[in-house]
Amino acid sequence: MRIAMIGAGYVGLVSGACFAEFGVDVTVMDVDPDKIAGLRAGRMPIYEPGLDKLVAENVRNGRLTFTTDIDAAVKGADAVFLAVGTPTRRGDGHADLTYVYAAAEQVARAADGPLVIVTKSTVPVGTGREVQAIVRRVRPDGQIAVASNPEFLREGSAIGDFMRPDRVVIGVDDDRALAVMKRLYRPLYLIETPVLAVSIESAELIKYAANAFLATKITFINEIADLCEKVGADVHDVARGMGLDGRIGRKFLHPGPGYGGSCFPKDTLALARTAQDAGVPIRLVEATIAVNEARKAQMADRILAALGPSPAGKRVGVLGVTFKPETDDMRDAPSLVILPKLVAAGVEVRAFDPQPGHARQALPAAVGFAQTALDAAKGADAVVVLTEWNEFRALAPHRLKSAMAGDVVLDLRNVWDPAAMRAAGFAYSSIGRP
């Protein structure tokens, strides 16, 4: 089989490389010539563990190629996946579908035979039908079918998530398109992955409902963590006790400074807008969005309060600025709200992140960058953990203590043991623990 992946971002590049690993011939196409030139030279445009090796292997065996030429990508393809961005549209919070519709039209124009256009981007209900309308207008010959195949991978564990998903969702109303999709995902049948064939509308909504549910789950445990702090309970014990109930589940009950990333913030907002437009506002999701936004600002206030009555001129070492570990993605990272507030209060901020590639451009110029975690802590009045990179867990408390000038540690990801940190002489606080 032969496919094209339109968009060489986190999703397009990872799923393209994984389909190639499944034995499919894949051409990844992007409008960004620098990205494609880099990929051809073996340079990854993003940090995702294992991706460089997977890409190199599949380029070597001839199953994975890169191009900026849409005609070359689409020629002879059985399916063309749209994996372009769907960011928040300025002004109204809806998903911006400009890139999806432009790509759909380009693919339809370039098609030279029967094919399936598959929307892998996260798109609001109704987008698949609009793609069908575009296709019918450009190619009235009926050779092109349309399907929806939302992607559930997480950054940082994207390859494993793609190769061993909990389920594959296919939105389709055409038998030929369903047959093509089932063939593409055939390797997953061996590991008994459930494959759900549903309507295009249901597939589109499954993606938003799943993301909104997970964002709500995180927000719920964050608020329970706040209550734990007031009443002397430990949020990890509460989360474990809740999560062992199979109806609740243990995952996504880790408290923190608020969820970020390229999906939850924009997708919860887009779902809320879709529901408002449909006359059935989802108040639970609206509350999740508001609580999470407020939380990020509250975290900055909490850091400032820990610095005492006059935070101006104090030094803070920040460990981790990406929205989660094992990625270089800064989209909607809590650090983007928290660090500017510290800088505005006159705090001297020195950050360390193992993948600082996009962080320097995204954060205020006043934020300094250190080469190591201990270097960020050097001379600091306080150290704040914003992202739970594994290497922070391994930092010896006595080494951290001797690097710092002060003793304040705010662990907003609960990476360290409170008793050990207090024994090492820190004024240590974390989220939802006594």
> Closest approach of Cβ 260 to ligand UDX, in Å?
4
Site for ligand NAD in 29-58 (CB under 6 A): 29-32, 35
- Does 11 bind ligand NAD (CB under 6 A)? Our answer is yes
> If binding is defined by CB under 6 A, does position 121 make contact with ligand NAD?
yes
Residues 6+ apart with CB under 8 A from 100: 82, 84, 86, 119, 121, 123, 127, 131
Q: Which stretch binds ligand NAD (CB under 6 A): 7-15, 57-65, 281-289, 301-309?
A: 7-15
311 binds, among ligand UDX, ligand NAD, none (CB under 5 to 8 A by kind): none
DSSP 367: -
Stretch that binds ligand NAD, among 27-35, 167-175, 277-285, 315-323 (CB under 6 A): 27-35
What DSSP string describes 284-335?
HHHHHHHHHHHHHHHHHHHHHHHT-S--TT-EEEEE--SSSTT----TT-TH
Q: Smaller CB distance to ligand NAD: residue 106 or 148?
A: 106
Q: Which of 107, 147, 263, 383 is catalytic?
A: 263
User: What tokens were used for 124?
Assistant: 């609001």
> Which residue in the set 135, 263, 362, 412 belongs to the binding site for ligand UDX (CB under 6 A)?
263
Clarify whether 228 is annotated catalytic. no
Q: Is 171 in the site for ligand UDX (CB under 6 A)?
A: no
- Residue 110 in contact with ligand UDX, rule: CB under 6 A: no
169 makes contact, choosing from ligand UDX, ligand NAD, none, with CB < 5 to 8 Å by partner type, with: none
Instruction: Quickly count: other Cβ atoms within 10 Å of residue 59's Cβ.
Output: 17
Are 57 and 51 within 8 A, CB to CB?
Answer: no
Q: Which does residue 86 bind out of ligand NAD, ligand UDX, none, counting CB within 5 to 8 angstroms by kind?
A: ligand NAD
Q: Which residues pair with 79 in a beta bridge?
A: 3, 116
Print the SS3 string covering 55-104: HHHHHHCCCEEEECCHHHHHCCCCEEEECCCCCECCCCCCECCHHHHHHH
366-385: burial string, b at 16+ Cβ within 10 Å, e else? ebbbbeebbebbeebbbbbb
Binding of ligand NAD at residue 332 (CB under 6 A)? no
Least Å distance between CB 357 and ligand UDX? 16
Is residue 86 near ligand NAD by the rule CB under 6 A?
yes
Closest CA to 125 of 21, 267, 25: 267
Fill in the amino acid letter for 396.
Answer: A
Tell whether residue 359 is a contact of ligand UDX (CB under 6 A): no
Residues known to be catalytic? 263
- Contact positions vs ligand UDX (CB under 6 A): 151-155, 211, 214, 218, 252-254, 256, 259-261, 263-264, 323-324
- Contact positions vs ligand NAD (CB under 6 A): 6-12, 29-32, 35, 83-86, 99, 102-103, 106, 121-122, 151, 153, 155, 262-263
